Chains A and B, each alone.
Chain A
Amino acid sequence: MRRNDLRARRHPAYGAFLVHRLSGILLALFLPVHFWALSQSLQGAAQFDRFLVWTAAPAVKFAEWGIVALLAAHLAGGLRLLALEFLPWRDWQKSLAAAAAALALAVGLAFALAL
């Protein structure tokens, strides 16, 4: 049985699917870590501050930006999916992938500037 390679996958909706799935996996892995980090605040403000000082490191800032970008990308992809599954079908729905990408980019940029 012959399987598909990259040539069959080079269309926008496939890219959107892949981004949505990969960002979902990474977010699912990140979430427990994020929750654990926040519950450091339970140890009191001093402990939380020590932890926050660590977040000022450039590598951490980059990771934070990455997480926000992933979140934006996953949200945009998810909104696209909800539109495809619930709204009446039109041809422009194929360009929802592009709209999703634009939205994700905008959010990622906003966060980068804020940092």
Chain B
Amino acid sequence: MNARGEALLWLTQRMSAAVLAFCVLVHLVTVIVAVQGGLSAAEILGRTRGNVAGLVFYTTFVMAAAVHAPIGLRATLGEWLGWRGASRDIALVLFAVLLAGLGLRAVAGVFGGAA
């Protein structure tokens, strides 16, 4: 990839990192609070189903992760497995699509439904 492409990938990685830093902090606090006294579907789904703020937040979280993880893996695959070139990039785009797809499905399951 040329200088411009690599520079934009780097910038995208840092920007998604900043978004994830915020999202992860919120998520960790939420999880630590939620885990108090055990987990039950009714408890969780009772709080999340129809929660629009939650839907928006976790959709953002999923999309940021779907962008951030593949770009992060790209360097590792090249440096530790010697995998470079177009095939690596194609595989990573597919991985991004997989993450986004599975993630949005999960968000729909947890936050979907009428208020």
Contact = CB atoms under 8 A, between A and B. Distances in A.
Instruction: Please determine if A and B sit in direct contact within the complex, based on CB atoms under 8 angstroms apart.
Output: yes
Interface string B75-115: 01000000000000000000000110011011011100000
B45 A45 contact: yes
Chain A facing B: main interface SS: helix
Given A35-B99, A85-B14, A111 B32 contact: yes
B5 interface: no
Interface string B28-60: 100111011011111011000000000000000
Nearest to B69: A28
Given A21-B76, A25-B76, A72-B28, A41 B102 contact: no
Contact of B38 (A37, A56, A79): A56
B73 interface: yes
A114 B105 CA distance: 28
Interface of B: 14, 17-18, 20-21, 24-25, 28, 31-33, 35-36, 38-42, 44-45, 62, 65, 69, 72-73, 76, 98-99, 102-103, 105-106, 108-110
A52 interface: yes
Contacts, number: 95
A42 B105 contact: yes
Given A49-B41, A52-B40, 7 more contacts: A24-B72, A39-B108, A45-B41, A56-B38, A82-B18, A111-B32, A114-B32
B18 A42 contact: no
